[in-house]
Amino acid sequence: MKRQEEYRVIAEFSTHPLGEGTSLSRYVRSALDELRKATGVRLLVNPMGTVIEASSLQDVFAAVQAAHERVFKEGASRVAFTLTVDDRRDKRRRMEDKVAAVS
Amino acid sequence: MKRQEEYRVIAEFSTHPLGEGTSLSRYVRSALDELRKATGVRLLVNPMGTVIEASSLQDVFAAVQAAHERVFKEGASRVAFTLTVDDRRDKRRRMEDKVAAVS
Amino acid sequence: MKRQEEYRVIAEFSTHPLGEGTSLSRYVRSALDELRKATGVRLLVNPMGTVIEASSLQDVFAAVQAAHERVFKEGASRVAFTLTVDDRRDKRRRMEDKVAAVS
Amino acid sequence: MKRQEEYRVIAEFSTHPLGEGTSLSRYVRSALDELRKATGVRLLVNPMGTVIEASSLQDVFAAVQAAHERVFKEGASRVAFTLTVDDRRDKRRRMEDKVAAVS
């Protein structure tokens, strides 16, 4: 098994288009479209962001970049986002394991 | 209906005890215990944090304060946390509505 | 010396009024006005947020609450913010110490 | 003038090695070493993170990736980080402009 299949990076992405009104679901849906097209990622949407699990940080960044550019393509001219990353290399785990461990 | 029942603050809390090893689920479980005891909050655990829905920012802060102090009580001597808040007052919504809107 | 003078909570606050255009400095200035009026806090503004040093988490929360409410008073109807907190109780330090330690 | 010289991405990076004790300045210094070697970025260190200004999101990601890998090379086996990005394409600005606008 290759290393990138063992240790998974788990991240969370949240986008805030600024100046596009208070209803932003259209932009978030478009960003999610791009995340879903990204290579090697698993996604879990929650009310405050999207959790991304990937084989590498590069894959997380590529997915986020595509999602971020898409929000501009949808018409936004200023976009803020937050990306939090949890990269653990002493133990194999998937995103479900993190929730199971605290339940 | 009272205002605080109409407009709900939606937040996400993520705690990082520093210097307590790489397996932190014990601390997160304790923090969650406190969040569950907090008044007027609804919770949704995800792999990167806990979404908190409350009637007011004060209730979010009270819940987070209790959770944070508990992590120290469990033995941590340095604790970092991130709290993101989405406070929308032009429209009533619950945390489930945010996910439904982008699905 | 009282404990709260020894161990200081260091935090960072960043507000994002949504739907109020792309130029948000008016809102940030108002939020800063409130932070400056808050009790027991020291502030350091940077391009991405304001670092807050306080004797306790309660003081940080009180300052942030005032700043957040002020952004609504200025006309916003949806406001997102991020608060990151670093609470270290094994060592006395001020916010300047954190920068000095890595310089 | 090239586009990337006009519109600058402004970001903030904060790393948290987990399980490496409560004194983390050695890791932060190493991460900063890598950020300083990165191409096309300007940096501003504050008590809670490092503000990064770059011509593009790719340059921000490349700098962060190098800094993040360096923290593992220094011995950490689990590293969390937060990256917040403010990407504004309707107006040219540098990181100093953001502070000046709210002062």
pLDDT in tens, B71-90: 999 999 999 999 999 999 99
Interatomic CA distance for residues D86 and A18, integer angstroms: 10
Q: Is D16 left (phi over 0), alpha (psi -120 to 50) or beta?
A: beta
Average pLDDT of span B53-57: 96
Q: What is the pLDDT of residues C60-78, one digit of tens each?
A: 999 999 999 999 999 999 9
The token pair that represents B74 in the structure block: 């469990």
Which stretch of DSSP H or E encloses residue D9? strand D9-17
The CA-atom distances, in angstroms, between B72 and each of A4, B14, B51, C81 are: 35, 15, 21, 25
Q: On the CB side of D20, how many CA atoms lie within 13 Å of its CA?
A: 22
Full DSSP string of B6-72: HS-EEEEEEEEESSS-S--HHHHHHHHHHHHHSTTEEEEEETTEEEEEESSHHHHHHHHHHHHHHHH
Q: Which residues of C touch A80 (CB under 8 A)?
A: 16
Task: Determine contact, residues A43/A51, Cβ cutoff 8 Å.
Answer: yes
Q: What is the pLDDT of residues C14-64, one digit of tens each?
A: 999 998 899 999 999 999 999 999 999 999 999 999 999 999 999 999 999
Q: A73 by DSSP, 3-state: which?
A: helix
ipTM exceeding the 0.85 mark: yes
Computed over every residue of chain C, the mean pLDDT equals 93
| Alpha-carbon torsion, ordered C63, C69, C73, C74, to 10 deg | 60
String of b and e for B12-29 (b: at least 16 CB within 10 Å)? bbbbbbbbbebebebbbe
pLDDT (0 to 100) of residue C4 = 46
Q: How far A81 CA sits from the closest chain C CA (Å)?
A: 11
Interatomic CA distance for residues C4 and C84, integer angstroms: 19
pLDDT (0 to 100) of residue B2 = 47
Whether the pLDDT of residue C5 is over 70: the answer is no
Whether A65 sits inside 8 A of D57 (CB atoms) is: yes
Average pLDDT of span A42-66: 97
Whether the pLDDT of residue C1 is over 80: the answer is no
C-alpha radius of gyration, chain D, whole number: 14
Give percent of chain D with pLDDT exceeding 90. Answer: 87
Q: Is C40 left (phi over 0), alpha (psi -120 to 50) or beta?
A: left
Q: Which residues of B touch D24 (CB under 8 A)?
A: 18
Distance, CA of B1 to chain centre? 25
Touching subunits for chain C (3+ Cβ pairs under 8 A): A, B, D
Q: What is the pLDDT of residues A4-27, one digit of tens each?
A: 457 899 999 999 999 889 999 999
Q: Which residues of D touch A85 (CB under 8 A)?
A: 68, 80-83
pLDDT (0 to 100) of residue A5 = 56
Q: How far B1 CA sits from the closest chain A CA (Å)?
A: 24
Interatomic CA distance for residues A57 and A7, integer angstroms: 11
